[in-house]
Structure 1
């Protein structure tokens, strides 16, 4: 998308997060240091290259980034954050917290009760899509034995069962849910327009031209049948016609042969009657016909 971009955040050493400076992700976690955007300052923002992944971006920015920096990618309406380690970027949850007024769920939420669902739940991951934050809730007792549930920051259930976390299929569903009724109507209208477009192709022959153009000799032969293949009835009629023509041809051939034979016999009789020798070619022709 034309608005795809990324930003680089660096630890603000004048904030409470100063202890994060140049720490690896593992060290920060082991020391239970919170990694939040309020402890950072933005030092750069640029467009993302088309289709650029987090790994590709990290490699491109490796020379200008430092350990403990955070890369924030805004791509296709989704925001993902990555903590810069020395050898790789670590996916980071909870770096950005929108926290609108009336928020019930955050990434620190535990022992949360969900209506209609037994037991306590805790937030284990989050994602920001089209400007709205969603939380992946995991059962605190049975964990992965029970399907995840996705809530928004107000505690509203968005997806009742989610088996694989924020995978591509789940993110696509969230994108669909975020569309306004007007956007859904526009997409539905585009779909209907495409169907009508193809229907017109079919009705006015354009469909046949596209279908047969690789096999027909010219457009005069376009008739809805690839290469003008005949149906069963047409083939049967054609076979009968061929048989009749063959029979007529054979009769005509036999008739022609009997006339010539009689002519040769007459020529031989005249020669004998006149006392002249029978021409050799007549004898040969008669012998051939007898044979």
Structure 2
């Protein structure tokens, strides 16, 4: 995708998540907890300027919260997922900076294997051959991966995988 965008994820606001909300990364890790998308909800998605840094985005969102920002003021324990120049990075907002958390971008597929932008050799039930993740986008609070056939490339129909559904585009 050529669009530069960012999404903000905040810890779900239910009682069972209170022990991870607003925690520093070090505190979470010392308690044996990880930064998992299952504990978060997307509260914002929007375009960014190419090359905009996590610090730039955080400052911009703190100064003027967009109308479609559904959460509390951006801060510690939030995750910024930035897609810029075809690369997607998840950054945990820590008390004194940002920590890249690649595990945040990894989801479980229906076949119990991990799916990420680096996925290759992926087998899809009912489809011949193996597939690789060609691209990735955040849309409607879900991660969608564009899968390309490893042998036939663009000559075969793409497959789009999300967290819970398999779709075929012809």
Deviation at 1:35, TM superposition (A): 1.6
8 Å contact 1:17–1:34 — kept in the other structure?
Answer: no
- For 1:28, the equivalent position in structure 2 comes to 28
Q: Note closer, same or farther for the CA distance 1:97–1:18 as it changes in structure 2 (3 Å cut).
A: farther
For 1:49 and 1:27, the matched residues in 2 are separated by 32
- For 1:89, the equivalent position in structure 2 comes to 98
Q: What is the number of residues matched between the two proteins?
A: 124
- For 1:101, the equivalent position in structure 2 comes to 110
Aligned-partner SS, 2:9:
strand
Which one has a larger percent helix, Structure 1 or Structure 2? 1
User: Is it true that 1:60 corresponds to 2:60 in the alignment?
Assistant: yes
For 2:39 and 2:18, the matched residues in 1 are separated by 7
For 1:70 and 1:8, the matched residues in 2 are separated by 6
Gap regions ≥5 residues in structure 2: 64-72, 124-129, 133-149, 156-170
Greater C-alpha radius of gyration: 1
Q: Note closer, same or farther for the CA distance 1:44–1:181 as it changes in structure 2 (3 Å cut).
A: closer
The one of 78, 81, 97 equivalent to 1:72 is: 81
- For 2:164, the equivalent position in structure 1 comes to none
- For 1:44, the equivalent position in structure 2 comes to 44
Deviation at 1:16, TM superposition (A): 4.0
RMSD (CA atoms): 3.3
Q: Which has the higher contact order (CA 8 A, sep 6+)?
A: 2
Gap regions ≥5 residues in structure 1: 107-127, 135-150, 159-176, 183-291
Give 1:152-191 correspondences, 5 Å limit.
Answer: 180-181=153-154
Q: Note closer, same or farther for the CA distance 1:34–1:16 as it changes in structure 2 (3 Å cut).
A: farther
For 2:122 and 2:93, the matched residues in 1 are separated by 27
Give 1:1-291 correspondences, 5 Å limit.
Answer: 2-14=2-14, 16-62=16-62, 64-105=73-114, 128-129=116-117, 133-134=118-119, 180-181=153-154
Deviation at 1:88, TM superposition (A): 0.7
Q: Note closer, same or farther for the CA distance 1:45–1:181 as it changes in structure 2 (3 Å cut).
A: closer
8 Å contact 1:4–1:47 — kept in the other structure?
Answer: yes
TM-score (norm 2): 0.58
Q: Note closer, same or farther for the CA distance 1:87–1:152 as it changes in structure 2 (3 Å cut).
A: farther
For 1:96 and 1:43, the matched residues in 2 are separated by 16
